Structure 1
Amino acid sequence: MTGLSAKAVWQDAGRRFALTGKGYRIMRPLCFVLMPFGRKPAAGGVMVDFDAIYGTLIRPAIIDAGLEPLRADEEMAGGIIHKPMFERLILCEYAVADLTTANANVFYELGLRHAVRRAATVLVFADGTGQLPFDVASLRGLPYSLGADGTPGAPDGDRKALAGRLRAARNERTDSPVFQLVEDFPDVQRQKTDVFRDRVRYSNRVKQDLARARKAGVDGVRSVAAGLGDIDELESGVVVDLFLSYRAVGAWDEMIALVDRMAPPLAATVMVQEQLGLALNRAGHGDRAERVLADLIDRRGPSSETCGILGRIYKDRWRQAVWEGESVLARGLLKKAVRAYLDGFETDWRDAYPGVNAITLMEICDPPDPRGRQLIPIVAYAVKRRMDRGHSDYWDHATLLELAVVGRDRAAAEAAAADALAAVREPWEPETTASNLALIADARARRGEALGWAAGIESLLLKRAGVQD
């Protein structure tokens, strides 16, 4: 026994006790909950009822784990609002952070928590409500089911899983990425800061070298990569830049090999796994690519990008079946491709990429799928909203071009083509768009319709790609 403090709290054998009017009671370790309040929208249009999530899932799980739940709105304190918040983040033995909707306040609080607490921070998120941001995607989060009304979909099972994770956290030595990755943190000496400063300069130089190498093609990127040394020793930004540089020059085998050399947390991120699926498909390993993306959807839920790449896999298989004269198989694969692209667009209507691909393939169907015409204004609105925010790139203009060709709007198609040609970054971009226009032209030719002006745009794109003189 350590004796009675001024606050009538004493400790014995690792347990804390408090003096009450009825005698002493065991004080459970505190578990602070970082999460939004009320109802908030998530990806896919779902309204998440966070108060219900807390009341029927998180709070009971914390109690089941033998802890005392504490949420910011459960105890009001005077003075500056940040002081009690900081105290709870710093002093509570445990914490649960709900990362659903990527709420800015929650992420700020999580960053502080990871900076001051080595362990006992458990992350949760609603399954199927979009991807976690890149910086936390590699952390071991626990998904929970969400019902159609935004409340817990499987409260009993998820409560049991969260309680188990909290009990396991007692034995976790480190779960903060800051303490895991920064040696001797927080005792960082001046020498280490100097090394960090040198590495930042080195990283910026490598990124500049890669930017120049991409213009030189595959051999240029390979030359830079050969001088980088051990991939495990490089910062993630450089590795990702190299990974995407290989993609820019079509070095699919190098992309695949690089994933095997990455640090496991980086290799497991959604972005890397999605691009691995793309590279595998381009390298002719469609079955493995499909498995990678299907596994990603099972673990992290569908997203516009994941489903879009999966749609491309089915689209390529459809083209191969057409080439081989397998007409029945081709029809089935075309339907699967349309479904995958539609799933991606319905996951996030702000992303026009899967939407325009679904529309293009619907136009190719025999007869054309009428849903495509209904989607045209929705996809056009999505891409124009993005452009209005000042984030336009080649694919935005290319999307408007494809939509105009499907809609037989020559003036709009020629205007979008001019903007797209001026925004080309990599040769494969206009080549991809030209390929889609060729598919539309072939389908219409089979139906006895010809759009000569669209063929002219296709030729300009191929010329810009360096495929046609």
Structure 2
Amino acid sequence: MSSVIFKPLCFMVMPYGKKATLAEPGKGPAEIDFNALWDNAYVPVIEALGYQPVRADQDTGAMIITQMLERLFFADLVLADMTIANGNVYYEIGIRHAARRKGCVLLAADWSRQLFDLAQMRTVRYPLPEGAILPDTAAAIQAAIKDAIVGLAAGTSPMHGAIPGYPTEVDESTAAGMKDQMAMLAAFQAELRTVRAFPKTERMARAQTLADSYVKGPMIGAVAIALMLMLRDCADTTDDWNLVVKFIDGLNAELRAIPELIEQRALALSYAGQHVDAIAAVEAMVATSKPTPELMGLLGGRYKRLYKDATTPEDARKFLARSIDNYEKGMQLDLNEYYCSSNLPSLYRIRKRAGDEKLALSVLQLVIAACERARQRGSTDPWLRATLLVAAFDSGDADKAEALADEVESGDAADWQLKSIIGQLELSLANAGDDATMARLSAVIERLRPA
């Protein structure tokens, strides 16, 4: 009688069938055949590594939740493809991370972007120029993932790495300390809500008092960021913005090194009138890390402020050119991030080179498409409606601008945000169309202007 040799099991977590990617044209295929990806790329690698490959949809019957949980727990290796944002995949990754200390490897196409905390985790990247998984593509994927899977399979899951002794030998004193910290964080958040409940005229003083009470003692990053954002959203005058800078500068070196605090310090410097210092701070970040749409947008915005404040035609042309250059670089980094691109149509029309009107119209369509895509995906970006409002101004569409202004008004934008929006709308107004359209759009600006 021959004996059956059981290989270790590899459970694959991934979509199946053909799925849309929602990738920007030129950034990735519009659709992926995940069955072909499984058959032609993953299965050969899994077998070559000595595992028996299985995924949920290959069961003879529909797999119920108990079976899925069992396989996530008992599988010797779990591979999870995160190329597209799939709720089931994300959920199953979380279960495996909590259930087992090792043996979960994340994979994704090299052009894809992941959501939430998973974007920070080590991920095996593979080339995916087309979604049909042709032989050359399958071979390239296999070459990219095989050795990397072996390397990451032994890595400790985030849950087990973060909590010593998890799941059965957790130090209760650690648990008590964490509960105390959470209780303090809850109390802190209640204090923030209290500040926000005061009239706008009183908020900055209340915010400063609260920030002063925390800056004297030890502070965690989440509290430092929350206090900074509270001060920022209460700021109105130059003195207020200087207080934001002072608060950040008063933090310890570890907190001051948090990227979000560095970025917001540069923003505060600019609103305090120190545009050159703000540019230097952002350029230092770009030099030591890497360009991002957010950083290039910050640079573009600081140069745009210098353009507005320029006292000579030469300075105006120079700063306008630098603003456009940085916004264009940010746009090219990610066409789905509309922050940089939304500023360009009005700036092209101010520059008035040959072909600039055509550029303005093409970028405007890109902005609208990116914003509508973000809306369809349920984005909570507070700048989304404002960006669509700017696009309506750039399109000369008074009807849409008035409707979007209602949405912006009904939101909870801080005064500094409204002023920033109005500044962009005023730039766009000059090319809005006939006198009647300009009059309606001007009325929109006056509606939004803080009291």
Q: Which TM-score applies when normalising by structure 2?
A: 0.72
**2:124 touches 2:149 (CA, 8 Å); kept in 1?**
no
Structure 2 residue aligned with 1:467: none
Alignment match of 1:93 (pick from 35, 52, 76):
76
Amino acid corresponding to residue 279 of structure 2 in structure 1 = G
- Report SS of the residue matched to 2:357: coil
Shift of 1:114: 0.9
Aligned-pair distance for 1:281?
5.6
- 1:320 and 1:60, CA in 2 relative to 1: closer, same or farther beyond 3 A? farther
Q: Which residue does the alignment assign to 1:203?
A: 185
Per-residue Cα deviation, 1:228-283 (whole angstroms, up to 9, x for no partner): 62427xxx5x565345435434535755887963699xx6xxxxx56754544654
**2:328 aligns to what?**
339
Q: Would the aligned equivalents of 1:30 and 1:69 in 2 still touch at CA under 8 Å?
A: yes
Q: Equivalent residues in 2 for 1:289-328 (5 A)? A: 289=282, 292=285, 306-307=292-293, 309-320=295-306, 323=310, 325-326=314-315
CA contact (8 A) 1:277 1:293 kept: no
Q: Which moved more, 1:75-84 or 1:47-56?
A: 75-84
How far is 1:309 from its partner? 4.9
Contact 2:368 2:388 in 1 (8 A): yes
C-alpha change, 1:84 and 1:451, in structure 2 (3 Å) is closer
Aligned residue in 2 for 1:357: 343
- Structure 1 window deviating more from structure 2 (99-108 vs 54-63): it is 54-63
Quick one: structure 1 residues 200 and 317, their matched pair in 2 at CA, closer, same or farther if it must change by over 3 Å? same
For the residues of structure 1 that align with 2:376 and 2:152, how far apart are their CA atoms? 46
Contact 1:94 1:120 in 2 (8 A): yes
- Mapped to 2, the partners of 1:345 and 1:320 lie a distance apart of 25
Structure 1 residue aligned with 2:413: 425
The counterpart of 1:183, out of the listed 134, 153, 164, is 164
The alpha-carbon deviation at position 206 of structure 1 amounts to 1.0
Q: 2:146 aligns with which of 154, 159, 163?
A: 163
After superposition, the C-alpha distances for 1:67-110 in whole angstroms (9 at most, x for unaligned) are 31423157525685334432321122222211222211111211
SS at match of 1:185: coil
Contact 2:107/2:125 (8 A) holds in 1? yes
Q: CA deviation at 1:179?
A: 1.0
| Contact 2:45 2:146 (8 Å CA) reproduced | yes
RMSD of aligned Cα (Å): 4.6
Match for residue 50 of structure 2?
67
Give 1:50's aligned residue. Answer: 34
SS in 2 for 1:44: coil
Q: Percent identity?
A: 21
Residue 79 of structure 2: SS of its match in structure 1? strand
Aligned equivalent of 2:352: 366
Q: Equivalent residue for 1:3?
A: none
TM-fit CA distance, 1:186: 1.0
Ranges in structure 2 where 5+ consecutive residues have no aligned partner: 25-29, 197-202, 236-240, 270-276
Residue 124 of structure 1 corresponds to 107
> For residues 374-403 of structure 1, what are the alpha-carbon distances to aligned partners after superposition, in whole Å with 9 as ceiling and x for unaligned?
665775687679789998886455345434
Would you say 1:109 and 2:92 are equivalent positions?
Answer: yes
Shift of 1:308: 5.3
The residue that corresponds to 2:116 in the other structure is 134
Q: Helix, strand or coil for the counterpart of 1:370?
A: helix
Shift of 1:37: 1.3
Instruction: Report if the CA contact (8 A) 1:61-1:163 is conserved.
Output: yes
Instruction: Give the conservation status (yes or no) of the 8 Å contact 1:434–1:462.
Output: yes
2:390 to 399, 402, 405: 402
Q: 1:76 aligns with which of 51, 56, 59?
A: 59
Cα distance in 2 for partners of 1:31, 1:317 equals 53
Q: Aligned match of 2:214 in 225, 232, 236?
A: 225
CA–CA distance in structure 1, aligned partners of residues 9 and 407 of structure 2? 58
Q: Give 1:440 deviation, angstroms.
A: 3.2
C-alpha spacing 1:126/1:116, structure 2 compared with 1 (3 Å): same
SS in 2 for 1:339: helix
* Cα displacement (A) at 1:35: 1.3
Question: Could you tell me how far apart the structure 1 residues matched to 2:349 and 2:294 are?
Answer: 17
Q: Is the 8 A contact 1:358 1:372 kept in 2?
A: yes
- Counterparts in 2 of 1:4-43, with a 5 A limit? 19-20=3-4, 28-43=7-22
* Whole-angstrom CA distance in 1 between matches of 2:38 and 2:10: 13
Contact 1:209 1:224 in 2 (8 A): no
| Cα displacement (A) at 1:365 | 3.5
**Paired AA for residue 128 in structure 2:** L
Name the aligned partner's letter for residue 188 of structure 2.
V
Q: Is the 8 A contact 2:82 2:89 kept in 1?
A: yes
| Alpha-carbon separation, structure 2, partners of 1:109 and 1:89 | 7
- For residues 152-174 of structure 1, the C-alpha deviation after alignment (integer angstroms, 9 at most, x for no partner) is 886656534433333334654xx
What TM-score do the two structures reach when normalised by structure 1?
Answer: 0.70
Structure 1: gaps (5+ residues): 1-7, 9-17, 268-272, 299-305, 465-469
Following the alignment from structure 2 to structure 1, what is the Cα–Cα distance between the partners of residues 111 and 87?
A: 20
Residues 189-213 of structure 1: CA deviation (Å, up to 9, x unaligned):
7776665554443222211223444
Task: Tell me, yes or no, if the aligned pair for 2:14 and 2:89 is still in contact at 8 Å.
Answer: yes
